[in-house]
Structure 1
Amino acid sequence: SMCEGGELFTWGQNTHGQLGVGSQTTLTSKPQLVERLKGIPLAQIAAGGAHSTIVSLSGAVYSWGKNSFGQLGLGDTKDRDCPTYVGALEHWKTVFISCGADHTAVLSKEGLVCTFGAGGFGQLGHNSTRNELLPRVVAELWGARVSHVACGRWEVPVTCLLRQYTLVYVSSLDKFYFFGSGDEGQLEDKREPKQLIPLPINSPENTGKSCQSNDHCRCIQSVFVSSNPICYNFHFVNVFMYFTQNSYPNGIATLEDKEVDAWISNSKCPNSIKKNIRLIFSSEACINGSFLDKRDKHFKTSKEVSGLDMSEVERFYMKISKNQTVYQEV
């Protein structure tokens, strides 16, 4: 769970270090603070079967937990019990990440997709069933400018077999692409049980509507059908409802110009404003997130580059100096 103040709390099973709080315990029902991420302005978190990842507002990716198939993207198969920086994605400009049971997919600002981890079902989209220990660009999607990505899995009833797949959406083409483990009758168009490269899913016929915005979920029900008495449709519907309802990460609390204008226009600085000021300025993560360079330079954040726009910091303090009550509160 990510708080507005930028703190990340985890709880549950920790057999592979997937909580990111060390390996002292294998199970906890009490939320634990992930200390390693303090001060980092988080944009999004994602959890897989037994691994976890986060993306910061500056596009940095950290991963931890189970790594049997390389799903952490760190170049090996060693589990991590604390968040570890994924150096291979340093210049990727990551804006979104999704975790499957044992694989991970990352979306860049330019619409490129890279995947890593388990590839046994073709869910990495590299025309093979090999595992990938490092992030690898899905070549078949090059130039498509993907806007959404989601990793998924389901268990086949009775057999308890676990199937894994990846779905992407290209808004400019209004098309969904699927790769990974399908099932006979899963899709309208018959295809191999293991789809090794991204292929478009047949669009609904004669709907008279584009699969844009809220029409996605209605369209999906006619895209996915199953001849099997036990229907798997709901898995795909859930994924695409996720696309339409949760496409954009809800980040931490950061400063907005309109909000600051409201502060300085109020001469009394009521408790609501004081509460907001305390929320942001008591958190390193919120402060860092508030003053990130907006000209893509924040994607270059490193030990050598702060990623902060110090001119914005100066402008902010000049602005609030017009209201001494607010200035003193900050």
Structure 2
Amino acid sequence: MADLYGLRTRDASGVITLDTTITPVRSLKMMQVVGNGAFDQYISIPEIKAQSFVVVDTLADNGEYTWSPLAWYSTGQLQLRQPFNNTWQVMILSLGGEPFAAPGSYGIRASNNNIRTQIDSVNQVLSVRYNGRFNIGFQGPGSANQIQWADVTFPAPITTYERPLVFLNADNYMMVGNFSVKGSPGNWTGFRLKAWNNQPAHGDTALYPMYINWYCASYQAPTSAVGAYGASVKNAAGVRTFVTTANLSLLNGQPASNSFALSGNPIVAGPSYSPGFQMAWTGSYQDYVLANALFSATNIGATGQPFRENFGGFLPGNRSVLQMYTYNGGGTNPVTPNGRTLFASRPMKPL
């Protein structure tokens, strides 16, 4: 067994609240960019490093037609396809290990056999706020009852400017789309999504309920309960950037935004055509997938069908791939799910 070094803390019941042998998702930079109306817009962002990954998200709630642009990134550059003139939220996430942000900043850094953790006084970690479970889709063969939409309301609004990140998992099969977060900057109240079960493509499993677990995470300053103890980091203004009583949302897979490849039979219904695409996934039923951009629509501009739904998730009994479809009006020049920004995550502590 390899030697492990770093920091570990536990709460009063003995549950581990921080373990630097596990990499937490942390934010290197959060910013907004404005579209310039070009078909492809290239934006210089020096903070995007070779090992960074980027999430591009909308700041709007347009119901089932909430959309985000296709986005690709490389060292120092972000590419947005048809961003129109809208403002977009950009989160540059990191595995940790970059230099501390500025002279005088401080925190904790640990390296364990190439697993790196950095908690500092500038960059906040991503922590779980709320979680739950719902049932969506067909309710069994021959059942007239179909739950087409899930509509979740948070116990209290999340007050960050950027949308909270919503992660989804399922007991087995999951095919969902039309994702949106309800609310507006500073007042995010919940989320909604639609079932896209397809029995001809995925077998009889698609005729049964999809049991989906979810949690949402944000960079809102974490708080501690009275009497709690552990480690805490604050910035120069006294705002807490990290506390061990928070449940961190961990990075457990970093797909590239161009990792989907054409795979599997398309879904054809009359004139509509939805080609299938797959990317390699983690293989673990413990890992959640980020819903924000992956399952939202794509807006391809002034065509007969400007909004293209992206839907997908997990195939029956298979976590080695992530299956996606993009709805198209026909089979000519179909849109693909590449350009969707996503990653795999799991909570550090049980929900």
Tell me whether the two structures share a fold, i.e. TM-score over 0.5. no
Larger Rg: 1
Which category of TM-score, normalised to the shorter sequence, fits these structures?
under 0.3
TM-score, with length taken from structure 2: 0.22
Q: Could you say which structure has the higher helix fraction? A: 1
